[in-house]
Amino acid sequence: MESPAWRQGLGLGGVVARTVAHFFPDRRVWLNGLRDPRDPNRITYPARCLTWAGRLVFLLKRGSRRQIRFELDSPTALENLNRLAGCRQDRVPHGDTLNYFVRRLGPDPLHGLRRRMDHRLIRMKVLDGGRLLGHFLVAFDGTGPLTFRHRHCPYCLERTAGGQTLYYPHVLEAKRVTPDGLAISIGTEFIVNDDPKATKQDGELKAFRRLAESLRHHRIDAQTLDPAAAARIQIRLRAADTS
């Protein structure tokens, strides 16, 4: 009987490993260079193993990190994880271990890893077929899949309708997009209420300024795509440049 991990496509681990090795041959060097904030005397799973465990949650579209132990506990899953991460672990890490590592690591090292991967694809010219008039296409859009009836954190946005107030985290994403359907994340900026005395909530335009600043390290030779906000962004940026 096939295990859940096999049904989810983990039998393709060899294909994934070869694909990753082709496009990102220095991936293990990059992962080994991550600053590990944990006590080195108590580490069981190295950073590269936990980073790949987190990636598998998204690659296999698992609903939560708890599914690592519930559905990715087969010998095939462990073999593929070890192959991708270059490890020799005897069991798949627990979701709480992954959560502890990511919370202490913070987003900046992972953003740096994403930037290296993006630059590698550009140097290989694998995205050149998606250029428009010589430019890459970068789409900016806000998304927020979660809502709560009670305040989730001090930074949540809020909206009231029909007497019911909902609280929700929101994020602005920048993605390289291609005509054949690729959407590669190159930047992320959370839209947050970090000033409790503010009279107006944070929004996509404000977040766009912060995101644009963080993208200075990327090769953004691009045309931006955002049918809702691109015109307003250009007007406001021009006004800021002349003020």
Structure tokens at 52: 């790949």
Residues, the chain: 243
Token code pair at residue 196: 């409790």
Q: Rounded to an integer, what distance in angstroms lies between the CA atom of residue 228 and that of residue 90?
A: 50
Chain-centre distance of CA 46, in angstroms?
A: 20
Return mean pLDDT, the chain.
79
pLDDT for residue 237 is more than 50: no
Give the start-to-end residue ranges of the domains of the chain.
4-105, 129-242
What residue has token string 């503010």?
A: 198
DSSP 119-148: HHHHHTTTTGGG-BTTBEEEEEEEE----B
pLDDT at position 51: 93
Q: What is the pLDDT of residues 92-150, one digit of tens each?
A: 898 899 999 999 999 889 989 999 999 999 999 999 988 888 888 888 888 877 778 88
pLDDT digits (tens, 9 = 90+) for 165-214: 888 778 889 998 888 888 999 988 888 777 656 656 777 778 888 888 77
For residue 137, the cross-strand partners are 177, 223
Q: What is the pTM of this model?
A: 0.75
